[in-house]
Chains A and B, each alone.
Chain A
Amino acid sequence: MKRWRRDIAVIVLFVGAILILTTSSDSGVLLNFLMMALYATLLAQAWNILGGFGGQFSFGHALFFGTGAYIQSIAQMQWGLGAWAALPLALLGAAMVGIFVGALSFRYGLKGSYFALVTLAFAEVFRILALSVNFTGAGVGLMLPLKESLANMQFGSPRGYVYLILVFVVLALLISCWLRHSRFGAYLQAIRDNEDAARALGVNPFGIKLGAIALSAALMGAGGAFYVQVFHYIDPGLAFGPHTSVEALVAAIVGGMGTLWGPVLGAFLLHGLSDITRNLFGQLPGINMIIYGLVLVLIVTFMPRGIAGLSATLRARLGGRNG
């Protein structure tokens, strides 16, 4: 009982820290960084629910991201809904796609690499379809009209966006916290660790995994909806392309899979790294990305359990040397 109280307390502290930073600074760079880092966090958290807690690695999480982004755009531009009314539809739509893919994959017993590859294939299929149908704007994409107002979920100052994304991140944190301490979460992690044993104990892997993928997809869809509200433009490549899928999984793994704070740490670290390196050696484009790649390899080499798992890694190393 005490464990979850501690987790909630840390979440409150985290929110407090972000709020203090946001309200005390006028720096557009800092606010933009916070906004994008929290956005990357949301993506990583969404992936972590299915991949970290559930052990089902997805290579095509952009599928849910894109669904959320497109529904958010289409609902406003073609169905005449307001931004806030569109949002639950975006989450619902993404969750439904998640359930569809999950039902097919889990029904046919796809695990490990096979599951990862099928999610990748679905993302590609959706990308190609989005290029070919008119209501997504096909190759031209969809452009959300600029109309700043709270009612339109479009903010003049990045602060508004930081608060918005923070709400989603907190939601994801609470869900992850719940997974850590609830029966559902325990079942999910049991399935991750040994599905057959879990089934033998009476757990229903199909239903549990389906729940996990629905949650994961909905949060990813929220990320997509947020993206559209910030950048006002979506096309099939941005929506369903591999960039977002990779961003989500790398941050989650580097941060520490299956942990509460792993995605936050991973997203902030990697986003900060990419931000810092972007302008180093500006005369020679490419060096910045090489440094990014090197750091990635080094992090994986020396922190195999991710940042959140660092203490466990150190303990194992030191223990090994002494024992």
Chain B
Amino acid sequence: MFDSAILIPSLLNGITTGAVYALIALGLTLIYGVLHIINFAHGAGLMLALYGVYLLKERLGIDPYLALPVMVVGMFLLGYCLQRLVINRASHGKDENILLVTLGLSIIMENAALLAFQSDTRSIETPYTLATVTIGPAMIAVPKLVAFAGALVVSAILVWLIQATDLGRAIRAVAREKQGAKLMGIHVDHVYAISFGIGLACLGAAACFLLPAYYVNPQVGNGFVLVAFTIVVLGGMGSFTGALLGGLLIGVVESLGGLYLGESLGQIGIFGIFILVLLFRPQGLFGARS
């Protein structure tokens, strides 16, 4: 129905878009996998991170890619403090309360941004914003290729962190068996906060890769939340490889769906997969049966 001159670029577009989705989902899957909370504030976190990248570029002239270390550390600290000082205290550990607290936080964050930055959309100009690389019949935007590479690197770092470090072992212990971990002397609250912090740090990285190809306004996070949830479920809650591959897969599904069904109806592919995975393989591609 479509010849390769359309299909191949569409696939490549899907993969690179999916890479950005994966970056956003990586943080969400860690937060869900460890703290078992559905983080309603994830979209707002992405929005704050995007404003951070924007400000660093506009006020201090720092290129988004060079801003990576600053953003990652900054978002980590924000996440750590939010979890330790607010979410933990407010929710008393009850699931439904955590939901409301993250919801309340997202409302506060979105409207604080509205107050501080007003509602207009902002974007940045970089020398590579419009540059493309030709791959076969496709012209792929440079920022998207960088995002793809970034997603691979970030996933690798996270996998290494979880598998090969003491911190990672502690996180895995807490995720699997909280009480047991406590008995082993692991400081659970601290680990929870670190995990949440890492989750937000991933958003910091995602923002650095996303802003050159996109824009920021107070509501920008809302457009990514549902897709991120889908990827987390598809990949398996708690699995980084799953989030990466799930993200790429969803990106391709969205792309091909848009091509065959039209951009609006094509979105149904994403949620169709969401439902099918939930019904028939809820542990996702790489998750463990819980």
Do A and B share a direct contact in the complex (Cβ within 8 angstroms)?
A: yes
A residues touching B (Cβ–Cβ < 8 Å)?
57, 104-105, 108, 110, 112-114, 116-118, 120-122, 124-125, 128-129, 131-132, 246, 249-250, 253-254, 257, 284-290, 292-294, 296-297, 300-301, 304
Tell me, yes or no, whether B275 is within 8 Å of chain A by CB: yes
Tell me, yes or no, whether B264 is within 8 Å of chain A by CB: yes
Tell me, yes or no, whether B268 is within 8 Å of chain A by CB: yes
**Which residues of B in the span 75-111 have a Cβ within 8 Å of any Cβ on A?**
86, 89-92, 94-97, 99-101, 103-108, 110-111
| Interface pick from B66-74, B128-136, B175-183, B276-284 | B276-284
By the criterion CB–CB under 8 Å, are A294 and B226 in contact? no
Complex formed: what's the CA distance from A114 to B96 in Å?
14
Tell me, yes or no, whether B200 is within 8 Å of chain A by CB: no
Tell me, yes or no, whether B272 is within 8 Å of chain A by CB: yes
Given contact pairs A300-B90, A301-B90, A118 touches B275 in the complex (Cβ within 8 A): yes
Q: Tell me which residues across on chain B come within 8 A of A105, comparing CB atoms.
A: 279
Q: How far is the CB of A198 from chain B (nearest CB, A)?
A: 20
By the criterion CB–CB under 8 Å, are B38 and A113 in contact? yes
Q: How far is the CB of A244 from chain B (nearest CB, A)?
A: 14
Pick the contact of B233 from A117, A131, A296, A300 — CB < 8 Å? A117
By the criterion CB–CB under 8 Å, are B268 and A296 in contact? no
Greatest chain B CB density within 10 A among A131, A290, A293 is at A293
Given contact pairs A114-B282, A293-B107, A300-B101, A286 touches B268 in the complex (Cβ within 8 A): no
Pick the contact of A125 from B36, B96, B272, B278 — CB < 8 Å? B272
Pick the contact of B280 from A108, A293, A301 — CB < 8 Å? A108
Q: Tell me which residues across on chain B come within 8 A of A121, comparing CB atoms.
A: 230, 271, 274-275, 278
Q: Tell me which residues across on chain A come within 8 A of B275, comparing CB atoms.
A: 118, 121-122, 125
By the criterion CB–CB under 8 Å, are A296 and B107 in contact? yes
By the criterion CB–CB under 8 Å, are A304 and B108 in contact? no
Pick the contact of A289 from B96, B101, B111 — CB < 8 Å? B111
By the criterion CB–CB under 8 Å, are A284 and B92 in contact? no
Complex formed: what's the CA distance from A292 to B115 in Å?
14
What is the predominant secondary structure among interface residues of chain A facing chain B? helix
Q: How far is the CB of A312 from chain B (nearest CB, A)?
A: 13
**Can you name 12 extra interface pairs (CB under 8 A) apart from A108-B282, A289-B107, A297-B105?**
A110-B279, A117-B274, A121-B230, A125-B272, A250-B100, A253-B96, A286-B112, A297-B86, A297-B90, A297-B108, A300-B91, A304-B92
Q: How far is the CB of B198 from chain A (nearest CB, A)?
A: 20
Tell me, yes or no, whether B229 is within 8 Å of chain A by CB: yes
By the criterion CB–CB under 8 Å, are B101 and A304 in contact? no
Give 3 nearest A-B pairs by CB, closest first.
A293-B107, A296-B104, A293-B108
Q: Tell me which residues across on chain A come within 8 A of B101, comparing CB atoms.
A: 297, 300-301
Task: Give the nearest-CB partner of A124 in chain B.
Answer: B271
By the criterion CB–CB under 8 Å, are A286 and B111 in contact? yes
Complex formed: what's the CA distance from A253 to B102 in Å?
14
Pick the contact of A290 from B115, B229, B267, B278 — CB < 8 Å? B115
Q: Tell me which residues across on chain B come within 8 A of A294, comparing CB atoms.
A: 104, 108
By the criterion CB–CB under 8 Å, are B278 and A293 in contact? no
By the criterion CB–CB under 8 Å, are A253 and B107 in contact? no
Q: How far is the CB of A117 from chain B (nearest CB, A)?
A: 6
Given contact pairs A120-B229, A121-B271, A300 touches B279 in the complex (Cβ within 8 A): no
Q: How far is the CB of B148 from chain A (nearest CB, A)?
A: 26
By the criterion CB–CB under 8 Å, are B111 and A290 in contact? yes
Task: Give the nearest-CB partner of A112 in chain B.
Answer: B95
Task: Give the nearest-CB partner of B87 in chain A.
Answer: A297
By the criterion CB–CB under 8 Å, are A118 and B38 in contact? no
